[in-house]
Chains A and B, each alone.
Chain A
Amino acid sequence: MSTPSAPAGHPRHFSDRLPSLAEVGPLIALVLACGFFISQSSRFLSFQNLSLILQQTMVVAVIAIGQTLIVLTGGIDLSCGMVMAFGSIIMTKFAVTLGLPPALAILCGIGASTLFGVLNGVLITRIKLPAFIVTLGTLNIAFALTQIYSNAESVSNLPDAIMFFGNTFKLGPADVTYGTVLTLLMYLATWFVLRDTVPGRHLYALGNNAEAARLMGLSSQKILLTVYTLAGAIYGVAALLSVSRTGVGDPQAGQTENLDSITAVVLGGTSLFGGRGSISGTLLGALIVGVFRNGLTLIGVSSVYQVLITGMLVILAVAADKLSHRRG
């Protein structure tokens, strides 16, 4: 091996990794979509409208953080939306019906979601059931518990403190919600951990080659349990954001967020096989869906086309991931 030869079968001569199609794809798609809508509607490119899009996507975006972490390990979480709804009912009922101080009620709600995360994690690591099956089960359990405790009724008249993240402040000509800021901060923190810290890189290694991680001494049990628990807590924060946006604890919330979060993750270029992807991609993926929904409404296109376009984008994203996946 004294001659630096190009790897057999690969005509590349670059030694550094170029960004793959799956990595720049989402950004290109988002830019193209924005460009299209700007050209079709003069109302798209205003601070107010863009701020609205951020507000509309922030709940799914936060849920998708947890989903990204889980998908990176090669797992999946079908229960995320329902766990969020359960957390939102706990925090609102505790504040309104039980009269707990808002901060405590919020903690209880986040705690409830975290407990579901622990349940998922324990079932997956100790009983060794596949993530798909486990989260399918906890999806139903969370949904049922939510309906039972809330009596299928939404909780309103929430104390102001719970609604804090729905409050806005002025950034230039636009109103920005604190929730949007929180969402972006959470993305930054996750980006840092995944890219620059030991636990983040271990997560990628586990997802990329679980056997290798095991042979090198990484504890998949510890990593997976941590990831699912953390995801549960993240869904609890999403619950708080959802409550502050809609002003109610809604037991019917979260039903589409299960798949919407996976859509954001896939559109962002993260591989469902694990080990590849980025959190920034997920944010782009969530924004792409929000941009299309907002933009198509602005130009008067029926909702059903939003669904159609989202479906096509998902296929494209998965195909791009497959094509850019190099095998030596």
Chain B
Amino acid sequence: MNLNSRRLPVARKIVSMCVAASAVWCASASQAADQPVVGLITKTDTNPFFVKMKQGAEAAASKDGAKLITAAGRFDGDNASQVTAIENMMTAGAKAILITPSDTKAIVPSIKKARAAGVMVVALDTPTDPQDATDALFATDNFKAGVLIGKYAKAALNGKPAKIATLDLAPGVSVGVLRHNGFLEGFGVKQGDPSIVCSQDTRGDQAKGQTAMENCLQKSPDINVVYTINEPAAAGAYRALKAAGKDKSVMIVSIDGGCEGVRNVKAGSIAATSQQYPLKMAALGVTAGVDYAKTGKKVSGYQDTGVTLITDKPMSGIDSKDTTFGLDNCWGNK
């Protein structure tokens, strides 16, 4: 396991300064070797999603002969740390910066400055607001991820009248909105449809997912489909359903494809999940960065890094892969 992911918050500034300083030293000392420097800034470095992303970036960097410097915020939403990281990386001579923005609007001025100085900036996983503030976006199509599980849920219901509960993220966060709307479209209902009997926020947290599910069940005991923003929320929802004796009769669908989530699909608590590929996002980003450093050619636009429906109970007409595939390709601890 990479030690860099274990730095204590207190020591991180010192370490990142040392990293920047040594990067400058390396850059000046090895001008002849001309190793391209690529920076990766994630929201946090504790979420397994970003851990996987960093691993993918490191593997790609060593393969492409690039030098990778990394940084992260202290928590989801920590914009200030990411601003500092961009500045440090520019000083360290990074030609390309890959970033999962914590605050999709507030980071834009820093990104503009970097691009004006000739640095290519690529957003990973989450688009900035506006999306064209970065040179390119490599991300999961979160809307499509929602559509897949929406279609699956509709098919799995097999004509029964639907009573849907949506366990969402938090107001205004784009990832949550996209996935939610995608699910609705895939399922074939519009926002406000009476078959959506309950919608509550969970912040993607297991305990809050449990509370939200309990309260939704109190409101509408006949819920039979539960859309969840991610797999921890799904785990909480499952627990509430189990306590109410409804775990066998209610279907949970989710998104993310983390290893623990795929294990839950295999165990049967989640019916299907849309798997996304952080490693691929990072690897593509590093390759694009090296390419730019060597040839000056920038990437642009949106590149879909793919999403796969993982389920052990496939529905006809809907492409999916089973949990064996899911476990082989999952992110997190296998």
Contact = CB atoms under 8 A, between A and B. Distances in A.
Interface of A: 41, 43, 48-49, 52, 55-56, 59, 140-141, 143-144, 147-148, 151-154, 242, 245-248, 250-253, 255-256, 293-294, 297-298, 300, 302-304
B211 to A, nearest CB: 5
A242 B207 contact: yes
Given A148-B6, A151-B333, A246-B239, A303 B201 contact: yes
Interface string B200-221: 1101011110111011101100
B218 A248 contact: no
A294 B207 CA distance: 14
Contacts of A140: 9-10, 74
B46 interface: yes
24 contacts: A41-B219, A49-B218, A52-B214, A52-B218, A143-B9, A144-B8, A148-B6, A151-B1, A152-B48, A152-B51, A154-B235, A246-B210, A250-B206, A252-B206, A256-B203, A256-B205, A293-B215, A297-B212, A297-B215, A297-B216, A297-B219, A298-B215, A302-B201, A304-B201
Q: Which of B48, B74, B205 has the most CB of A within 10 A?
A: B205
Contacts of A151: 1, 48, 333
* B contact face: mostly helix, strand, loop, or mixed: helix
Interface string B52-63: 000000000000
Contact of B211 (A48, A56, A152, A252): A56
A298 B218 contact: yes
B206 to A, nearest CB: 5
Contact of A248 (B6, B216, B235, B332): B235
Nearest to B203: A256
Interface of B: 1, 6, 8-10, 46-48, 51, 74, 168, 171, 198-201, 203, 205-208, 210-212, 214-216, 218-219, 232, 235-236, 239, 260, 332-333
Contacts of A293: 211, 215
A144 B218 contact: no
Of A41, A56, A144, A246, most B-chain CB atoms within 10 Å = A246
B333 A300 contact: no
Contacts of B1: 151
Q: Find the residue from A154, A242, A248 having the highest chain B CB count within 10 A.
A: A248
Contacts, number: 91
A49 B206 CA distance: 20
Nearest to A254: B207
Q: Is the interface of A mostly helix, strand, loop or mixed?
A: helix
A247 to B, nearest CB: 6
Given A153-B260, A294-B215, A300-B198, A245 B210 contact: yes
B214 A252 contact: no
A153 B214 contact: no
Contacts of B332: 153
A134 B11 CA distance: 17
Contacts of B201: 302-304
Contact of A152 (B46, B74, B171, B218): B46
B222 to A, nearest CB: 12
A153 B48 contact: yes
Nearest to B214: A52
Contacts of B208: 256
A144 B200 CA distance: 29
A154 B260 contact: yes
Given A43-B218, A43-B219, A152-B46, A246 B236 contact: yes
A141 B236 CA distance: 27
A246 B215 contact: no
Contacts of B214: 52, 55-56
B8 A303 contact: no
A315 B198 CA distance: 29
Contacts of A304: 171, 201
A73 to B, nearest CB: 27
Nearest to A56: B211
A144 B7 CA distance: 8
Contacts of B6: 148
B47 to A, nearest CB: 6
Nearest to B205: A252
Contacts of A294: 215, 218
Given A148-B6, A297-B219, A298-B218, A252 B171 contact: no
Given A52-B215, A154-B260, A303-B171, A297 B198 contact: yes
Contact of A246 (B10, B48, B199, B206): B206
A304 B169 CA distance: 11
